[in-house]
Structure 1
Amino acid sequence: MRHNPLLMLSLLLLAPVAALAQNKDAGSNKKLYCWDENGQRVCSDALPAEAVNRAREEISARSGLKTAEIDRALTDEERAVAAAEAAQRLLDEAKVETRRRTEQAMLTSYRSEEELMRVFSERTTIVDNNVRTAQYNVGSLRDGLVSLLQVAGDRELDGKPVSEDMANNIRRRHLELMRQLQLQANFERQRVELDDEVAETLQRYRAMKGDGEADATATPAS
């Protein structure tokens, strides 16, 4: 097979240019990682395993500009709090929907008080589950905080310093415990409010039906 000399020469001339472009692209993608460790700012072109879950910034090695900011990984307790807050949002949405349905269709959709009470059963289950979950989270957080405080106290009694990581962990767990206690109080208040809402809805239903004694044996969801 005959080779075109001009084509071969062009390929030879272009090869270094292509390699240079590849090297340039590789260099432009290189980045630095910066995070806090024991109160000190640490930067490296490689992220060690012990820093993977820490909050960090990613900086372009070529431009020196920050390209990303990564939050630290959530703890188990923080994930539990986030789940509880998500459950709260679902509960609020369900409450709005329940009110809309009961106001618009009370006379036409429900033939009995028992049928009306089924509308509230899902919300009642959600609130009860939220109360139990918050109670469990509070107990778990409190036990963990007590253990950390005992360890920190023993170290101080032994004349050893309490590390900054341990002190930060104690502060973080305390804040999480306060948030979870607030969530628990909110859920317990909502459970009482739900009982009041059920009783009020029953009263309106009976008045709109014009029969105050209709299905009088039905009881609010509990």
Structure 2
Amino acid sequence: MFRVPAIVAASLLLVVPATALAQSSGKAEKKLYCWNQGKERICSDALPADAVNNAREEFNVNSGLRNAQVERALNDEERAAASTAAAQTQLDKMAELTRQRTEQAMLVTYSDEDALRRVFSERQEVLDNNLKTARYNVASLRDSLVALLGAAGDRELAGAAVADKQADLIRQRHAQLRSQQRLQASFEQQQVALKAEIETTLQRYRELKGLAPAG
């Protein structure tokens, strides 16, 4: 394995095609990996274990062309946020489908109000789970942030400066906490909106059935 600064690797990639491309037929593709390590740009023909989760670019050594760009691996909090966002997308699709079904076939499909309420039960369950997850994430991130702030405070009281890495982690946790708090607030608002939608739909159902005066 060789590792070189990125500026050197770039010059090598400009030179290689003229000499190596003609010899590359039938050989396995060789790659050059480039990633940031602190403030330094590193390129290597092998990817070390401590750089696997870093964002990186991959180049074909023979042609000098970039053939891949890999984003950095998500941490636990980011994976939780992505999972929650995916669940929200699913919930939005289900909401639209529910609205279409209830308007198109309300009288034909549902024999009574209990049958109509069951249409909303799956959405309610997904929303409840999303809210539960968001509340758990908020509590977990808050505890983590409090612990980090406490450790930083202890260092300052002891006369030591807070390390840059520790300060960056505090800022990261704070941003993640704010993001999860916004998700929690959104889910809570959606719960209120869903309850109102259920009542509005039931009222419309009663009107179509002649069980209540048109509102």
Please give the alpha-carbon distance, in whole angstroms, between the structure 1 residues aligned to 2:156 and 2:31: 41
Partner residue, 1:159: 160
Please give the alpha-carbon distance, in whole angstroms, between the structure 2 residues aligned to 1:175 and 1:50: 25
Contact 2:58 2:66 in 1 (8 A): yes
RMSD over aligned CA atoms reads: 2.5
Please give the alpha-carbon distance, in whole angstroms, between the structure 2 residues aligned to 1:187 and 1:85: 11
Please give the alpha-carbon distance, in whole angstroms, between the structure 2 residues aligned to 1:73 and 1:179: 19
Partner residue, 1:193: 193
AA partner of residue 159 (structure 1)? A
Contact 1:36 1:42 in 2 (8 A): yes
Partner residue, 1:52: 52
Which ranges in structure 1 are unaligned for 5 or more consecutive residues?
Answer: 1-19, 214-222
TM-score (norm 1): 0.77
Identity percentage of aligned residues: 53
Q: Secondary structure at the match of 2:24?
A: helix
Bigger radius of gyration, 1 or 2?
1
Task: For residue 64 of structure 1, report the CA deviation from its aligned partner.
Answer: 3.4
Distance 1:175 1:93, change over 3 A: same
Task: Give the paired residue count.
Answer: 193
Partner residue, 1:220: none
Partner residue, 2:183: 183
TM-score (norm 2): 0.80
Distance 1:62 1:150, change over 3 A: farther
Q: Secondary structure at the match of 1:67?
A: strand
Runs of 4+ in structure 1 off by over 6 angstroms are 20-23
Higher RCO, 1 vs 2 (CA within 8 Å, ≥6 residues apart): 1
Task: For residue 57 of structure 1, report the CA deviation from its aligned partner.
Answer: 1.3
Contact 1:155 1:162 in 2 (8 A): no
AA partner of residue 162 (structure 1)? A
Distance 1:193 1:57, change over 3 A: same
Cα deviations across residues 119-164 of structure 1 (Å, max 9, x unaligned)? Answer: 1111111111111111001111222222233334444554245144
AA partner of residue 169 (structure 1)? L
Contact 1:110 1:116 in 2 (8 A): yes
